[in-house]
Amino acid sequence: METEKLTFTGNESAALGAKLARVEVVATYPITPQSTIVENLSRFIANGELKAEIINAESEHAAISICIGASLSGARTFTATASQGLVLMHEMLHWAAGARTPIVMAVTNRALCVPWSLHADFQDAISQRDTGWIQFYCENNQEVLDTIIQAYKISEDKRVLLPSMVSLEGFILTHTVERVDVPKQKDVDEFLPPYKNEFFYIDPENPLAENVVVLPDWYMEYRYQQEVAMQNAKEVIDKVSKEYFDKIGRNWGGLIEAYMMEDAEVAVVTMGTIAGTARVAVREMRKKSGKKVGLIKVRCFRPFPVEEFKKFSSLKALAVIDRSYSFGCGGPLCTEVKSAFYNTEEKPLILGVVAGLGGRDVNVGDIINVLEKTIEVSKTGKVERETIWLNLKGEQLR
């Protein structure tokens, strides 16, 4: 497949993905570390490289509201945000999903205050997990570009019609330069046709009113339709991933990626950039000690890949690394993984690990230590602590 090999930051990759998807409306409000995504899109529009309207909003709440209106009018829409900006959107995230608008939004994950931080964790996006948005988490800048494009085809599918957020960790990806293979516009155009809203759209020539008030005898039916769409998204995500591979030449594994899992006895589960580090740790352990360890990378957190996890029910033990935390409960990813195995007769022991909050580094040695702890759990048959906090000051594992 013909591509152009260039070097881009994660933010440049996100902007280029939106450009290749031929977005038509971009709503903007600046927030670190997202700002350069919409700055790049503004430059594309000013230079005539992208035919789109860019609208400067007075807040993140307004930006997502603009996207909802533009999507209902039949436009392919895009925005980007992070941290406090994403939580300010919370009210309208529910609206976007309920109105079945296939918006795509880049989320440059940044820790929430207080205390203030400009660095990465997933608490901002994880806090929006029940709003009805599809959620992708990217490992590198190439995956960012490819997932932005794929997200439009997934969200706009008639069986889905739900918005998507594509997460890339602040500074770790947003401002780090990597080689990115850029597909040709003609290939993207063949993969992703123009968006056509066939069900409901705002037309100034034919004004109408949408009744958004539903009485108790129909409200549950609306919510059930959203759940059906979210479950449909699982099949569509896998289908689109295969189509993208056929057309562009890259496959990120659909809902999850299983790495060296064919004969694995224990494994680490994680999302985002930590998966890249875990990949190296798994290779090193296999090469140096022959230990049968593997990696399950969760690419799509919503819808959650329950059936895919059940395929690994014969594992002896799993360590689930979260870059976020649900206070009083544990790591959100760990909780979901435990739930996936709940009704299986055979299931692995599961160790929760919290790491990397506020941009704290998670290195190969850290993950090797986690895997060694997981092997120990598999041998003893006991999980002494439900959740380990990795690399607290002065302690390696707690």
As a three-state string, the secondary structure of 89-144 is: CHHHHHHHHHCCCCCEEEEEECCCCCCCCCCCCCHHHHCCCCCCCEEEECCCHHHH
Q: What pLDDT is attached to residue 210?
A: 66
Q: What pLDDT is attached to residue 394?
A: 58
Q: Give CA–CA dist 382/317, Å, rounded.
A: 10
All domains in the chain, ordered by first residue: 3-248 (3.40.50.970), 256-389 (3.40.50.920)
Q: What is the pLDDT along the chain (398 residues), one digit of tens a residue?
A: 667 889 999 999 999 999 999 999 999 999 999 999 999 999 999 999 999 999 999 999 999 999 999 999 899 999 999 999 999 999 999 999 999 999 999 999 999 999 999 999 999 999 999 999 999 999 999 999 999 999 999 999 999 999 999 999 999 999 999 999 999 999 999 999 999 888 766 777 887 776 678 999 999 999 999 999 999 999 999 999 999 999 999 999 999 999 999 999 999 999 999 999 999 999 999 999 999 999 999 999 999 999 999 999 999 999 999 999 999 999 999 999 999 999 999 999 999 999 999 999 999 999 999 999 999 999 999 999 999 999 887 565 55
Q: Give the 3-state secondary structure of residue 163.
A: coil
Match 């100034």 to its residue by tokens: 204
- 185 neighbors 18 (Cβ within 8 angstroms): no
**Contact residues for 219 (Cβ-Cβ < 8 A; gap 6+):** none
Q: What pLDDT is attached to residue 252?
A: 96
Q: Give CA–CA dist 26/154, Å, rounded.
A: 19
Structure tokens at 270: 């994680």
Match 């995500």 to its residue by tokens: 237
The CA-atom distances, in angstroms, between 55 and each of 66, 95, 269 are 8, 20, 39
The DSSP bridge partners found for residue 388 are: 353
Neighbours of 284 (CB within 10 A): 16
Q: What pLDDT is attached to residue 211?
A: 65
- 78 neighbors 26 (Cβ within 8 angstroms): yes
* CA angle centred on 323, ends 302 and 142, rounded to 5°: 65
Q: What is the pTM of this model?
A: 0.96
Cis peptide before 33 (omega within 30 of 0): yes
Q: Give CA–CA dist 263/207, Å, rounded.
A: 60
Task: State the DSSP code for 352.
Answer: E
Q: What pLDDT is attached to residue 129?
A: 98
Terminal C-alpha separation, the chain: 48
CA nearest to 337, candidates 349, 324, 355, 323: 349
